[in-house]
Amino acid sequence: MSRYLAAVIVLLCIFWGLRSKVNVYEYFLQGAKAGVIALWQILPAILGIFIAISLVRNSLVWGYIINKLAYLMNPLGIPQDTAALLLVRPFSGSASLAVLTQIFIAEGPDSQSGLIASTFMASTETVFYVVMTYLTSVQIKRSRHILPVTIVIQLIGLICTTFLWHLLA
Amino acid sequence: MSIVWCFLMILGLLSAIIERKPERLLQAISEGGKDTIEYLFTLLGIMAFWSGIYNVVEKTGVISSLSQKIARPVFGRLFRKRLRKNEEEAVFASIVANLLGLGNAATVWGLKAMQELKRESGKEGYLPPNIATFLILLCSGLTIFPTSIINLRAAYGSENAAVIWLPALIVSGICTVVALILDRIWGEK
């Protein structure tokens, strides 16, 4: 079903445009131009985050932090291999998908870790990435309370997910 | 945000120096550049296309009438300062795109909403409370159907790929409520 969603939405939009007698193609181009400009503006922020992530992920410190974190999360019943997911999730959608895939390969999607990791992925966002690119796009430098709130909700998300699957399984 | 970036860079650089692998910086720079270009390739079409479609729909006025009916009563409670009509429409469209799981298309509409919210506040370098609430709402991970994760589970041989749907809905619901409460409390200062 959801595979057809995007196509159906575009179709409806174009029909709606024709019905309302607006100049569909002209407005499309106008909007497309704004989209290109917006992308151009967030590009440096994306480059910055990619470089930092690549630098950290290749270091020994990274493995050390993940081990420590897994150890801390153990008493809460959170599977060890989701520690890497918790750290990567805020920064990069593709990197966290890679971690999730590794969990699927190692333990299978229907294992306890697989279920917890996929639910966590499905119910959280790449928060740092979103905050950074969105604020950069309108030239705001201070993020005040946004980051602490996003960190807390990611943690709560992981704890709730774990709790829920312990109840269900 | 600046602190997070500096922290990551310092951590990565110190680690590279201590491990005697300073060339890792050059690697990271070229790798980051390559990833960004790859990202640009996939995103350019999506960004331009969905912004174009959004603009067409916006001009027909359908977003405006839908957002007045559905969004106005809800937004009145969520946001601290009353949203103007154009802000309300952009925020509404962006949240709908997120709920439908449209991914990068949602980013396009989100950036559009940011521009509208920013225009109303004016002042440079200051974070308006409505932008904080909007970003926190987006970050709380609300979604109706997590398509990509369910597809990935199926691709790796899950016997019931969609079993995570309800738990994900519950968890993101809890996260959204907590996020909005925290925004109210911590955003006051």
Give the 3-state secondary structure of A107-136. Answer: HCCCCHHHHHHHHHHHHCCCHHHHHHHHHH
Residue A55 with chain B: CB contacts under 8 Å:
8-9, 12-13, 16, 24-25, 28
Residue predicted with more confidence, B24 or B148: B24
Helix (H), strand (E) counts: chain A: 8, 0
Instruction: Tell me if A156 and B31 make a contact (CB, 8 A cut-off).
Output: no
Do the domain assignments include residue A12?
A: no
**C-alpha angle B148/B171/B149, rounded to 5°?**
10
Chosen for mutation from B50, B96, B171 (greatest number of chain A CBs closer than 10 Å) is B171
- Does A20 contact chain B (CB < 8 Å)? yes
- pLDDT score of A6 more than 80: no
Does the residue A23 lie in any domain?
no
Indicate the Cα dihedral angle B172, A98, B106, A47, nearest 10°: 120
Q: Is residue A31 part of a domain?
A: no
How far is C-alpha B170 from the chain's CA centre? 19
Structure tokens at A116: 């917890």
Residue A20 placed within a domain? no
Whether residue A16 is contained in a domain is answered as: no
Residue B185, pLDDT > 80, answer: yes
Provide the token pair at B186: 């911590």
pLDDT for the residue numbered B176: 93
- What is the band of B181 on the pLDDT scale with cuts at 50, 70, 90? very high
Q: What pLDDT, on the 0 to 100 scale, is given for residue A140?
A: 86
Reported as a single tens digit per residue, the pLDDT across B11-59 is 999 999 999 999 999 999 998 899 888 878 877 887 788 888 888 888 8
Count other Cβ atoms within 10 Å, centred on residue B177: 12
Q: Is the pLDDT reported for residue B96 higher than 90?
A: no
Looking at the domain assignment, is residue A93 inside a domain? yes
| Alpha-carbon torsion, ordered B73, B75, B80, B86, to 10 deg | -110
- Could you tell me if B39 lies within 8 Å of chain A, comparing CB atoms? yes
Residue B95 confidence (pLDDT) above 60: yes
Which among B54, B58, B186 has CB closest to A149? B186
Averaged pLDDT for residues B152-163: 88
Q: Which of residues 66-85 of A touch B (CB under 8 A)?
A: none
Size of chain B in residues? 189
Nearest CA-CA partner of B153 in B144, B164, B137: B164
pLDDT band at B81, cuts 50/70/90? confident
Residue B102: the pLDDT is 67
Kindly tell me if the per-residue pLDDT of B124 is higher than 60.
yes
Average pLDDT over residues A94-116: 89
Report pLDDT for A136: 87
Structure token pair of residue A117:
């990791």
Model confidence at A25, pLDDT cuts 50, 70, 90, reads: very high
pLDDT at residue A44 in the model: 87
Given CB atoms, is A64 within the 8 Å cutoff of chain B?
A: no
Yes or no, beta carbons of B186 and A143 under 8 Å apart: no
In a domain, A74, yes or no: yes
In angstroms, the CA A119 to CA A164 distance is 10
Mean pLDDT of all residues belonging to chain B: 86
> Rounded distance, CA A74 to CA A91, Å?
23
User: Residue A113: inside a domain, yes or no?
Assistant: yes
A with B: how many residue pairs have Cβ under 8 Å apart? Answer: 305
**Residue of A11, A126, A134, A136 best to disrupt the B interface, most CBs of B under 10 A:** A134
Residue A2 has pLDDT above 60, yes or no: no
Chain A contact present for B51, CB below 8 A:
yes
Whether residue A28 has pLDDT greater than 80: yes
- Residue A88 structural domain: 36-168
Asked whether the ipTM of the predicted complex exceeds the cut of 0.85, the reply is: no
- State how far residue A51 is from chain B, nearest Cα, in angstroms: 5
Do A119 and B163 touch, CB atoms closer than 8 A? no
The total of structural domains in chain A comes to 1
pLDDT-based confidence at A24, cuts 50/70/90?
Answer: very high
Q: Which two tokens stand for residue B140?
A: 């709380």
Q: Who among A59, A153, A161 is closest to B167 (CB)?
A: A161
Farthest CA pair distance, chain B: 62
In B, which residues are within 8 Å of A143 by CB distance? Answer: 1, 127
